[in-house]
Amino acid sequence: MSFNTGIRTVAVYGGETKKYQTIELSKGCDIMVATPGRLIDLLEKGLINLKMIKYLIMDEADRMLDQNFYEDIKNIIGHTTKRKQRQNLLFSATFNDDIKGLAKYFLNNYYYFLPVLESPKQIKHEFIRVQNDNDKTNALISFLKKPETKDKSILIFLRTKNGVDELGNIMKEENIPYCTIHGDKIQADRIKSISEFSSGKKNVLIATDVASRGLDFPNVYCVVNFDLPQTNDDYIHRVGRTGRVGQEGRALTFIDGMDETNRIKLIHFLKNQGQEIPEWIDDSISKKRYRFFAANKRKTDEENNGEKNEDNDGFKKPFRKKNNDDNNAGSSWGNSDNK
pLDDT reported for residue 64: 83
Alpha helices (H) along the chain:
18-26, 36-44, 61-64, 70-77, 97-103, 133-144, 161-173, 187-199, 232-239, 260-272, 279-308, 329-334
Closest to 207 (Cα-Cα) out of 159, 144, 141 = 159
Q: Is the pLDDT of residue 202 over 80?
A: yes
| Tens digits of residue pLDDT in 296-320 | 545 555 555 554 444 443 333 333 3
Q: Is the pLDDT of residue 236 over 90?
A: no
pTM over 0.75: no
Q: Is the pLDDT of residue 59 over 60?
A: yes
Q: Which residue has the higher pLDDT, 205 or 59?
A: 205
First-to-last CA distance in the chain? Answer: 62
pLDDT reported for residue 301: 56
pLDDT reported for residue 106: 75
> What's the mean pLDDT in 156-161?
95
pLDDT reported for residue 286: 52
CB 154 within 8 A of CB 221: yes
Q: Is 189 helix (H, G, I), strand (E, B) or coil?
A: helix
pLDDT reported for residue 179: 96
pLDDT reported for residue 325: 36
Q: Is the pLDDT of residue 45 over 60?
A: yes
Distance CA 155, CA 204 (A): 6
pLDDT reported for residue 67: 65
CB 62 within 8 A of CB 233: yes
- Which band of pLDDT confidence, cut at 50, 70 and 90, is reported for residue 240? confident
Q: Is the pLDDT of residue 232 over 90?
A: no
pLDDT reported for residue 260: 74
